[in-house]
């Protein structure tokens, strides 16, 4: 019999919280990290807040440099000027159509191309990757591209002149290719055993588990098409076909006191840049929250648990 020893109460030991105290270095790092992130957020948000303030400010305060975070001399005349023009809404509708159609075409071409390139058993895989990468460094130039699109293909003054020339972004293609290369091969093998063809695996297995990369690439293509104006400026010469970016660009160029010395022209010329940028970026800001959640989601979590 052993005396003088006590058996520890296991329940009491388990009930005691086990915490690890942060070291002074870690606490200092956390504080510095928070401060840096707050500064980055402030620097990021300030230009947009200043843009909104200028859009609703009067010309005199803007010219004097007195507009910072809040509007001065509240003014909505520029919004009325822009949004009261029926051509603005026609061009805005064109932008929506170009963005939707162009994004669909780009995703329809990029996704299967990237998936095919990710298959290591594809014959000529290196050749097709080389063709894609080659276009990142070499192009025919502006004049040959214009002749090809406008004259040879006859796509001038059509939606296809905006949608097709840049339908596949090589950068997006390579990103999607890398994603598909890391896709669990066990899932595809199991689907093949169950009788699915290559197309069945792609549409029923791969795409449903690739929402994150698909949403990201969709946003990249949509933002690029929404903000694009040069191709439209180059290949379109009918005002009824212009996107809103070309409409607003022409308005900025035309709204100068030298061209029209009236008070309305001075007012438009002072804050039209802020108004046009605000009207252009607003739809993307409204659309982004619906896509943002896919950026941080676990891409493979569902397949692993399944």
pLDDT in tens, the chain (306 residues): 445 555 555 555 455 555 667 788 888 888 999 999 999 999 988 888 888 888 888 877 877 777 888 888 888 887 887 788 788 889 889 999 999 999 999 999 999 999 999 888 888 888 998 888 898 888 888 888 889 888 888 888 899 999 998 899 998 898 888 888 888 778 888 888 888 888 888 888 888 888 888 888 888 898 889 988 888 888 988 888 999 888 877 877 765 555 555 555 545 565 777 777 788 788 878 877 777 666 655 334 333 443
Domains of the chain plus CATH, in order, are 22-75 (no CATH), 77-305 (1.10.3720.10)
**pLDDT in the model for residue 299:** 38
DSSP calls for the chain:
---S-----HHHHHHS----PPPHHHHHHHHHHHHHHHHHHHHHHHHHHHHHHHHTS-HHHHHTT--SSS-SS---HHHHHHHT-HHHHHHHHHHHHHHHHHHHHHHHHHHHHHHHHH-TT-TTHHHHHHHHHHHHH----HHHHHIIIIIIS--TTSTHHHHSTTS--HHHHHHHHHHHHTS-HHHHHHHHHTT--HHHHIIIIIGGG-HHHHHHHHHHHHHHHHH--HHHHHH---GGG--HHHHHHHHHHH--TTT--SHHHHHHHHHHHHHHHHHHHHHHHHHHHHHHHHHHS-TTHHHHH-
Give pTM, 2 decimals: 0.76
**pLDDT in the model for residue 166:** 86
**pLDDT in the model for residue 306:** 39
């Amino acid at each position: 019999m052993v005396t003088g020893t006590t058996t520890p109460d296991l329940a009491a030991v388990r009930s005691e919280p086990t915490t690890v105290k942060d070291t002074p270095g870690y606490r200092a790092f956390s504080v510095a990290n928070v401060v840096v992130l707050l500064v980055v957020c402030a620097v990021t948000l300030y230009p947009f807040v200043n843009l909104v303030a200028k859009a609703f400010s009067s010309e005199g305060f803007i010219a004097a440099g007195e507009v910072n975070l809040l509007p001065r001399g509240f003014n909505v005349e520029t919004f009325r000027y822009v949004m009261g023009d029926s051509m603005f809404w026609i061009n805005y509708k064109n932008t929506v159509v170009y963005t939707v159609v162009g994004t669909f075409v780009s995703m329809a071409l990029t996704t299967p191309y990237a998936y095919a390139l990710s298959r290591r058993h594809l014959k000529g895989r290196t050749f097709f990757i080389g063709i894609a990468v080659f276009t990142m460094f070499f192009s025919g130039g502006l004049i040959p591209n214009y002749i090809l699109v406008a004259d040879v293909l006859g796509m001038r003054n059509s939606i296809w002149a905006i949608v097709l020339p840049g339908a596949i972004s090589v950068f997006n293609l390579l990103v999607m290719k890398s994603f598909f290369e890391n896709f669990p091969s066990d899932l595809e093998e199991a689907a093949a055993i169950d009788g699915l063809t290559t197309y069945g695996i792609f549409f029923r297995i791969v795409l449903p588990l690739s929402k994150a990369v698909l949403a990201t690439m969709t946003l990249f293509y949509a933002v690029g098409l929404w903000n694009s104006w040069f191709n439209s400026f180059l290949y379109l010469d009918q005002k009824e076909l212009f996107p809103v970016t070309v409409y607003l660009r022409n308005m900025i160029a035309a709204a100068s006191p030298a061209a029209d010395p009236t008070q309305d022209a001075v007012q438009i010329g002072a804050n039209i840049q802020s108004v046009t940028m605000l009207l252009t970026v607003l739809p993307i800001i409204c659309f982004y929250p619906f896509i943002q959640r896919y950026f941080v989601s676990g891409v493979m979590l569902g397949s692993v648990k399944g």
